[in-house]
Amino acid sequence: MIYKSNLSKESALALFVVYEKKRSSEIRNHLVETYLYLAKILSQKYRYKNGDNEDVFQVACIGLMYAVDRFDPDRGFTFETFATPTILGEIKRYYRDKETLIRIPRKIQELNHKVNQTQVLLEQKNMRSPTISEISDYLDVSEENIIAAMESNHAHYPMSLNVELDTSNDDNLSLMDLLGTTDDDLEHVENIDAIQRISEAFTPVEKIVIEQRFLRQKTQKEVALFLERSQMTVSRLENTIKQKIKTAF
């Protein structure tokens, strides 16, 4: 079947109706080509760095393809109205990913977004923080992948050692305080080696404890419920974490 290169709004809407039923790649490509001008306009308008014109345009095209796939012609609004925020969202994501110090794989980012939404939904439904297994069951994703996604929450930028931690007493404690005094035996060890070593030393569960206790500022009882472990176990894990930090540095 041959389609006209330029479509009226009525013809384009009719073609979207056909595409929704048949999901033909030929129709999809034709719709993308028809609205390619939208990707060009938005990529030119919202680019703000020299030398990335082509990259931003390609990202805008990806957003356009997403919009074509998701557009519902029965909702009553135009495709341009629907597609514009979708394309802009991809452009903003492109710049956000470029500006982070640590690049997180797109699949992990998307899963992390779903995990965060699920946490809020289940917390409102059950009136408590959901466990990892509950999130895993709800999303039908393995617990290992759930943990990996949660670990990416604070992976875009390194955390300052001066950030104050939530403790059970009134003492002001930071990560720097947990590093202990200078060890003369480690005088000639590069800092990067120490950081890599301590990162590898933590188990997935210990990383969750660090996030929940020190970053999300949850109590030991809340973390215990989240991990489906006893509060004593969480306390022991905290002691192990502190000891690993002191040993590494």
The range of the structural domain enclosing residue 45 comes to 9-99
pLDDT at position 167, please? 52
- What angle, rounded to 10 degrees, do the helices at 79-99 and 36-46 form? 40
94 and 171 in a single domain? The answer is no
- Domain termination residue (choose one: 79, 99, 119): 99
What's the domain count of the chain? 2
Q: What is the CATH number of the domain that holds 238?
A: 1.10.10
- The CA distance from 118 to 76, in Å, is 30
What is the pTM (predicted TM-score) of this model? Answer: 0.41
Q: Is residue 60 part of a domain?
A: yes
- What angle, rounded to 10 degrees, do the helices at 79-99 and 53-70 form? 130
pLDDT at position 209, please? 83
pLDDT at position 208, please? 82
pLDDT at position 229, please? 84
14 and 93 in a single domain? The answer is yes
85 and 165 in a single domain? The answer is no
Cα–Cα distances (Å) from 55 to 36, 42, 62, 98, 159, in that order, read: 15, 13, 11, 12, 30
pLDDT at position 39, please? 92
pLDDT in 10s for each residue of the chain, 249 residues: 434 445 677 788 888 888 888 888 888 888 999 999 999 998 888 766 555 678 888 889 999 998 998 888 888 788 998 899 989 888 887 777 665 545 567 777 788 888 888 888 888 888 888 898 899 999 999 988 888 788 766 555 455 555 565 555 555 655 555 555 555 544 444 555 555 566 667 787 887 888 788 777 888 888 888 888 888 888 888 888 888 777 765
Q: Is residue 192 part of a domain?
A: yes
Q: What is the CATH number of the domain that holds 94?
A: 1.10.1740.10
